[in-house]
Structures are given as C-alpha cells and as structure tokens.
Structure 1
Amino acid sequence: MADRLPEEVIDLFFAEFPTDRAGKRTIGEFGLVCKQWLPSSRYRFFSDVDLDDRSIKPFLDVVARSPFPVPNFIRSLGLSSSGLEQGLKIEDCLRTLGPFVQVTTLRLTMTQDVLERNYALLGNTFQAVTILVFRNVPLPLDSILLAVSTFPALKSVVLDWVTLLYDNPDSTYRFPPQWDSLTMDLNDRPDAFFQVLLRLPQIPIFSSLSMRGVYPTEGSHFARYLAHAGSALQYLRFEAEASGEFGEPAGRYPVGLSASTGLQHLEMVFTYYTGIAATVYSALTYIKSSSLVSLNVIDASGPITDRPERQDWAKLDKILGERRFSTLQSFRVQTKSQVLGMKISQRMPSARARGILRVVYE
C-alpha cells in the first residue's frame, strides 16, 4: 500500500514521527515496507546513532544492504567500546565505513587504551565534529586533551559523569582555535581540573562554562582560572550538588566572579534548598560585568511551602535595580513551589515593573 502513495506524502508521513527510540522503531518498520527510504525517514532514523561492541555487526549489515549511503545521514554518533578483542571492534567499523562527513556531535565511551590507539583514526574519520562528549568513563586528563587536539573543527567539549585521572600532562597539545565551550560533570574533585589547566603552556580560554560541584570561591583553582581568563567568559552555569556549596558556610563566596567582566548569561541550579535569594544576591555583589543579559535560577529541590526568605528577595530586587544591571532583559526563576513563586512576585516589584521577572513552575 505504501508503495502506491506519492513520495511527497510518504515523506511528510515520516516527518511527523518523534526522534525518540519508539519513533525510530516505527520508522524502521514502515520504512522497510516502502522500500525507498525518503529524505525524512533517512534523517529521522539515522540522524542519531549509538554503536557499541554488540551492535557494530548488525549496523554494518544494514549499511551493506542499504540503497543509500547511511553514514552520510548521521549527524550525531555515539561510540562505546570495552576494549575486548572478541569480534569486530569499533576501529574496524570506522575503517570499513570511511569518513563520516556529516557527524558534528561525537560521544565517546572508551577505555584509555582504545582511545589512545585511535587518535589519528578518530580525527581523520570525524573532521566535521564540533561537539565532543566523553561519557561515564575513567580517563587521564592527558588522554582527553590529546583527543581534543585531534578534531580541527571542535568548538565544545562535554565531560559527562567522567572520572578524571589527574596525571601531570606533559604532551604537546594543539587545541582547535574554535574550542571555547566546556561542560563538566565530574565524579570527583572538579576544582583540580582547573589546577591542571593552569599548568599548561597553552591555557584554553572559554566563553562558555557549565559545571557541577565547583564554585569560584576564594583560594579555589577555579577562581584562579577566572582571574587568568575570566574576561572572555560570556555564559556561566553552576549546579550545586550539596547543601552549602553556594555561599554557605561563611567564607564560601564567589570572589572569582569579579574577573568575569564580559559575562552576559548566568545560570544557577539548586538541587537542594538553601537560601536561594541570598546566594544569588551574593553572586551578584561580585559581578562587575555591565553586560549581563539573562539571569536564570532553577530550584530543583522540590516543593517546600515554608521558606523564610522575604527580606532576601527584596534585597535581590534592589540590587537588580543598580545601574550595572540595566542591561538585564530576563530574570527567570524555575521552581516547583507555587508558594515560593508567589513570594518572589510579591517581593520583587521593581523587577516585575521592568518586565524582566518570569516565574516558571516545572
């Protein structure tokens, strides 16, 4: 039946499916009936692919039988390898398929030995990669920095639940000139990452930083890094993983923010409840940037009905009225607490009058 429909109709039909696993399964089932994988079905089904030691061979079989070049439709690719010698290996797959000219996002879950023996192969196969993700794996920082150096078009690096082995990097790195974004979610000692960076002959300069469990307090390596390169920073996102990480107890204040003179976007995520307004107020007192455009606060701690922060929200409203924050266009608070949202609206009349205050319940 599907073969009798005009190609334009089939193409529109496939375009309506979601990109999640269920949508891909449906596209796969109906796509085989059509016998012709039209553009929408190809892109929706093959745009994001994950390969591991078990799925390599079935994937190669699909590619071999396909009437069109499957690798040309992949935009995002995940490669996971345990390093075991049984059966086909990831590197065998890459050599068979050749360059992935359309892949811009590459996700790697590899042991150190697999990664290190494939630097050249990865760089030659994925020359268009702009986003490199390391996922759920222990790796020496030296290995990661060498991998970063192999992708000429790289702009962003993501360390997703990575356990860093802090060695003393002594290799020669050639960081891509466009690399200016880092997202960091480490299992242990995230501040030590910046300690190592500061030892490098060529210290990476970031315009975008997103991290969990690290804060630019006095004496921290992160604060030292910002003192060196903070003027280039435009986007900064913090996520606290424990109570007291932002501003409390006394002495844990973000003095390093004073070096971020070009900051335009600040986001603070609270996974526990503490004095949110007081903590945000503390951060703003150290910001010297006169170009802040957006301030996002995410309260992910869950609904709590009794939160004694009346005066703190009023103080926050007052500081946002200072001349240095005249460029602020959006102050967005995301919370699960209706009570908190109402208090914020009541205690921040100036922000509300400027039209910058937005409370979102999620």
Structure 2
Amino acid sequence: MRDFPQELIEQVIDCCHTSDPSIPSPDIGTYGLVCTKWVPRSRFHLFSHVRVMAIHRLSTLLDFIANRPSILFYIRHLQVDMGALVIDQGLLERMHHLPNLTSIRLRVVSTWVLPSEPESLFPHLRAWSSHSPSISHLHLDRFILGVPGQFECRDSLILAMLSCVPSVTSLTVGRDIKIFKDATTPVVPLPLQLSELTVVGLDVSHALFSSFIAHPPSSMPHLTFLDLDPPCAVEASAQTYLKRAGHSLRSIRAISLQGWSENTIQLKRLLQHTSTNLTDFAFSCFQPQIPDILSCLPSADWNSITVYIQHSAGRIPWSAIDAELAHERFQHLRKFAVFDFHSHKFLTERTRSLLPAADARGILDLTV
C-alpha cells in the first residue's frame, strides 16, 4: 500500500481504528511501522485518547512528551483519574496546552479515598478551555465530592465546572454519583449552548433539572438529546423542565437494567411532554409493554425507534407491534430495531415474517 494515495491510506487506518476508548485497538501502535506514509494518521489516532492517573504515571507521560511536543496536538480526549495518589497540580499544568482537545472526563477510581478539593480542578478546566475552543463534552464519572465513602456532589459544583468550559454542548453526569441540590447556593448561570444531557440516577436528575427550572425559559438550555437512566428519573423537576423546553428535543434514550416494573408508567410520563420534533427514541421495557409504549409516541418525522428488552420476560407480541407500526403516526419511520441487553438482535431474516407490514415498508433493521 505504500504506492496508494495518502487519502486512501488514511481512510484505511480510520476504518481499522475505533474511536471508542473502551474497545481496544491493539494494532494502532504498529501501523506507523509499515511505511513513512502510514505514520501521520497512525500518530493521529495513537495519541487521541490520553488518561492521566497517579503522579508517577503522569510524570512518565510528561517526560515522554517533553521530547515530542507535537504529541500535544494529537490529544483530543483527556481523562483525569483521581484516586489513592493525588495528582500533582504542577505536573497537570504542563498538560494545559492541548489545542485540539474535544472532551474531558473526570472520574474517581477509588471509593475509599477523598480526592483533593474539586475547586482545584477549576484552573485546569479554564486553561484547557482557553487553549482549545473545540471542547464540546464534559463527563463526570464516579465523582466523590464531600464525605469519604459517599458519592455526593453539589449541583452548584457541576454548574461551576460547566462555566469553566463555556464551549461544552454535551454533559454526562452519573455512574455512582450521588448529587444533592444546594439549597443555599444562588442561581448559577446555565450554559445556553448545552444541547445534550446524559444523567444516570434519580438524585442526579432531580438536582440538575431543579437547577434548570430555577431559570426562566429564555435562560435555560434547550436540549436536543436526553439520556435518562433509569427512566424513573422523570420526576417532578424533570417534568417541569420538559413542559417548558421539551419542544426542542430531537432524540430521547430511556434505557435501564433496573426498575422494569416502573418503566411503562415513567415512559408515558416522559412522552407526555415531548413534541412532534422527535426523530429518534430508544427505550427499555417488558416484551408485552412494547405496543403500549408505541401507542404513546406522537406523530413525527421518525428516523429510528429502538427497543431493548429482557431475554426471558415473556413472548414478544409481534402482531400487536406490527399493527402499531402501521399507524399513520409512523408513516415516516425509517428504522425499527429490537435488542436485548447483550446487543443481540431479535429482528433477523427468520423473524422478519412476524412483522409483515413493517417488513414490506423496509423499515426493519436486520443488520448485524
């Protein structure tokens, strides 16, 4: 391939590399050894995700970068892990100049250790933001802020972190975070550009949406994507927010491995306050409940509807599903898919005959 055009070589390397850091891409480190034309794109992916951990790991990384400063330009996703060994603030300052950074993930790797004061991260967040105007995603994961051994975080701290990175459009908060509303904290300005929100846990949902609805509609973010886990996170404050700003939502994901008996009620409550602007909806429920949920969806220009079900929770009512999908509300639907929680598809060449009307329209997602 050394004689192939550079553009084609880069496309091949892009296809071989996965952008998901949770999926290993072991060969990317050897791509640059093929020939010199493979080096630039290989390096682009090899250093795209950087994870900053304890002091000795960070020191080694910085020593490596010191002789190769161009590596800083390849870093697009930065993860900062806080745990038993507190990260040296001075060392972290040497990681400030990341001009192409697009996402920051802050997480705690130990449930027994209280990390340094969260406010100590603010200068770093501001520095990363000033050097990279392209930061769009902030992810807070397993954050322990408060008493050791308790997953607690003041909602004002999350909003303060957001204010440090004004370019953020996507916020993920969850994964074992216990968040509580700051009763004594004044209303904190919200980032109006925030358009995507993922919240994991009822406490997270209540505190964040309570902060949102403390503002007039003109001063609150108008989300286009909302991911709730569990769906029962649609409590009073979330419902109030949806009443005021739910018309902007284009995509909703309401999936959980827990609270199955509550899902149908909560999903209906969620859908009460959405509009015909929705294009994508993914939800989880028991098999018999699928037609009932579909009947609650509004008439819209649907792009996709995806259902996640338990493997052994009764028979799937294919005929009733086919009848619902034939309703005029779904006349524009382009794709319908059914999965279990192991990502196994229930719609196959063998089962497509169970949905004859939907199959005739070509909307069944049969891809593996």
TM-score range, shorter chain: 0.7 to 0.9
CA distance in 2, matches of 1:207, 1:338: 27
Question: After the TM superposition, which of the residue ranges 159-168 and 333-342 deviates more from structure 2?
Answer: 333-342
Equivalence for 1:239:
255
Q: 1:157 to 1:191 in 2, by over 3 A?
A: closer
Per-residue CA deviation, residues 157-214 of structure 1 (Å, 9 max, x unaligned), is 112414132032624534333210012223x545424552354224332110112112
Alignment correspondent of 1:71: 72
The one-letter code matched in structure 1 to 2:245 is A
What CA deviation, in whole Å up to 9, does each residue of 1:36-92 have, x standing for no partner? 9941232122111111123110011001122x422111111111233855xx61x32
User: Which ranges of structure 2 fall in alignment gaps of 5 or more residues?
Assistant: 19-23, 109-113, 145-152
TM-score, structure 1 normalization: 0.78
Residue 84 (structure 2) pairs with residue 58 (structure 1): no
Report the CA distance shift for 1:189/1:331 in structure 2 as closer, same or farther (over 3 A): same
How far apart are the structure 2 equivalents of 1:177 and 1:253?
A: 26
Instruction: Report the Cα distance in structure 1 between the residues aligned to 2:344 and 2:167, rounded to whole angstroms.
Output: 43
CA distance in 2, matches of 1:57, 1:21: 25
How far is 1:103 from its partner? 0.6
Task: Choose which of 276, 284, 307 in structure 2 pairs with 1:297.
Answer: 307
Aligned to 2:296: 286
In the aligned structure 2, how far is the partner of 1:109 from the partner of 1:338?
32
CA positional deviation for 1:257: 0.6
Residues 23 and 73 (structure 1 numbering): CA distance in 2 closer, same or farther, change over 3 Å?
same
Aligned to 1:173: 188
Partners of 1:200 and 1:112 lie apart in 2 by: 30
Superposed CA offset, 1:77-134 (max 9, x none): 111233855xx61x32342243211010111125674431231331222342101111
The answer to whether residue 352 in structure 2 is matched with residue 348 in structure 1 is no
Query: SS where residue 227 of structure 1 aligns?
Result: helix
Give the SS at the match of 2:231.
coil
Sort the Cα spacing of 1:344 and 1:240 in 2 relative to 1 into closer, same or farther, 3 A.
Answer: farther
Distance 2:57 2:74 in 1: 18
Counterparts of 2:36 and 2:255 in 1: how far apart (Å)? 48
The percent identity for this pair of structures is 20
Which aligned pairs between 1:254-265 and structure 2 lie closer than 5 A?
254-261=268-275, 262-265=277-280
Q: Which letter does structure 2 place at the counterpart of 1:61? A: D
Answering whether residue 120 of structure 2 is matched by residue 117 of structure 1, we say yes
Q: 2: CA distance between counterparts of 1:134 and 1:355?
A: 40
Whether the 8 Å CA contact 1:141–1:166 is kept in 2: the answer is yes
> Where does residue 27 of structure 2 map in the other structure?
23
Compare CA radii of gyration and give the structure with the larger one.
1
> 1:158 touches 1:182 (CA, 8 Å); kept in 2?
yes
TM-score, normalization by structure 2:
0.77
**C-alpha offsets along residues 228-278 of structure 1, whole Å, 9 cap, x if unaligned?**
22111100011122231322xxx55513313211111001245xxx2x2x4
Q: 1:323 to 1:352 in 2, by over 3 A?
A: same
State the match for 1:183 in structure 2. 198
In the other structure, the counterpart of 1:150 is 164
Q: CA deviation at 1:216?
A: 7.2
Q: 1:339 to 1:204 in 2, by over 3 A?
A: closer
Q: Separation in 2 of the partners of 1:258 and 1:285?
A: 12
Q: Counterpart of 1:99? A: 97
Question: How far apart, CA to CA, are the structure 2 residues paired with 1:320 and 1:341?
Answer: 17
CA distance in 2, matches of 1:339, 1:152: 42
Q: Tell me what 1:334 maps to.
A: 339
Contact 1:216 1:254 in 2 (8 A): no
